[in-house]
Amino acid sequence: MMGGGSGGSGTDDMIIPDESREDMEELGVGGGGVGGVGRGAQTKMAMTSVVPKPRAGLSSIFKAPQNTRALQRQTLERFCLRLRNDGMEVLKLNRDKKWQPRFLTVSKEVTWLNHERDAGAGMSGGDRGFCPQGILWMKKFNSRSREHSVASIDRQGKGGMLLSHLRKIMVTPGSVSEYPLGKKLVLGKFRDSVVVVLHEEHAGTARSVVIRCVSAEAAEFLRTGCNAIIDVLQRDGISKKNAIKKIGMAQNQVVAKELGLTTRRANAYMQGNTTSNVQKQAAAQNGAALTDEELWKC
């Protein structure tokens, strides 16, 4: 970006943040913009000599990732608690394009989150976080029986969806006309309902599940909760991959130390998928004397 003034010292003008401008005003440096007539050099000198005072508001910028994790974890816990205890009454569009009354809930099975062990700021303190394995749509909801299982999901996807397969959720108020309600439903509790679409993908196969929430508030609650689940599971997958990678690197270092090999030779040794146990033992005994070519042939 360029400054708003012109005719300065001949150099490019700079936009100074409000925090820096206030500090410059305190030191007697003009604060009404940069690049005024005959003041470009003065501003440049001030910028090189003035160190802005730290502002309390800036700390939140650098802590945003941690705050985001805490917020997502709180959202996830509230979402799961409500669906497990009370369920959510919705209409689900079946394969015949007819609306069926259903109740959304979450499975009793959970996925333990590797990266959430030290979240710290979440509602559960430093406890290890978890996420339900599936979201289910039930014909009836019994608040006394909360032991709903992903076993109720068949191979065609009837009964629910594994949350690890959920890729996107969309609230689509503009496409309500594509999924019209019947006459009875128009006059009922779903007269002001909002369409929500869950997009699933697994093993190269994609499908969309269309439901109606009673209100815009309920639709937003579902959207926020599902987005939190998508982000948390994606972050957990990255964390687990990194952990596996670190374990592999540590194993290679141990092999290198025990066999007296360089790291490159240890990597070659560990990646020898066709090596038999006998060959591995021989390589372990004579590893220090093996050449790179011989090591790759093991």
B/e letters for 50-84, b = 16+ CB within 10 Å, e = fewer, are: eebeeeeeeeeeeeeeeeebbebbebbbebbebbb
Q: In this model, does residue 105 exceed pLDDT 80? A: yes
Please tell me which residue, 4 or 143, carries the higher pLDDT value: 143
Contact (CB, 8 A) for 262 and 289: no
Which amino acid is located at 86 in the chain?
Answer: D
At 49 the pLDDT is 47
- What are the residues whose beta carbons fall under 8 Å from the beta carbon of 121, sequence distance 6 or more? 66, 67, 69, 70
Q: Residue with structure tokens 């369920």?
A: 87
Give domain limits for the chain.
1-52, 63-241, 260-297
pLDDT band at 83 (very low <50, low <70, confident <90, very high): very high
Please tell me which residue, 265 or 295, carries the higher pLDDT value: 265
How many percent of the chain have pLDDT more than 70? Answer: 51
Across the chain, mean pLDDT equals: 71
What tokens were used for 117?
């062990």
pLDDT digits (tens, 9 = 90+) for 50-74: 444 444 443 343 334 567 778 888 8
Q: Given 3.40.50.720, 2.30.29.30, 3.90.550.10, 3.90.1150.10, which CATH number is that of 63-241?
A: 2.30.29.30
pLDDT digits (tens, 9 = 90+) for 124-181: 445 678 899 999 999 988 777 767 899 999 988 899 999 999 999 999 865 566 778 8
pLDDT band at 182 (very low <50, low <70, confident <90, very high): confident
pTM score above 0.75: no
Cα dist. 254→32, 242, 296 in Å?
63, 18, 19
Query: Measured between alpha carbons, how far is 25 from 29 in angstroms, rounded to an integer?
Result: 5
At 137 the pLDDT is 95
Q: In this model, does residue 32 exceed pLDDT 70? A: no
Cα dist. 214→100, 101, 144, 198 in Å?
13, 11, 23, 16
Secondary structure of 163-231 in the HEC alphabet? HHHEEEEEECHHHHHHCCCCHHHHCCCCCCCEEEEEEEEECCEEEEEEEEECCHHHHHHHHHHHHHHHH
Query: Measured between alpha carbons, how far is 267 from 252 in angstroms, rounded to an integer?
Result: 6
Query: Measured between alpha carbons, how far is 114 from 252 in angstroms, rounded to an integer?
Result: 23
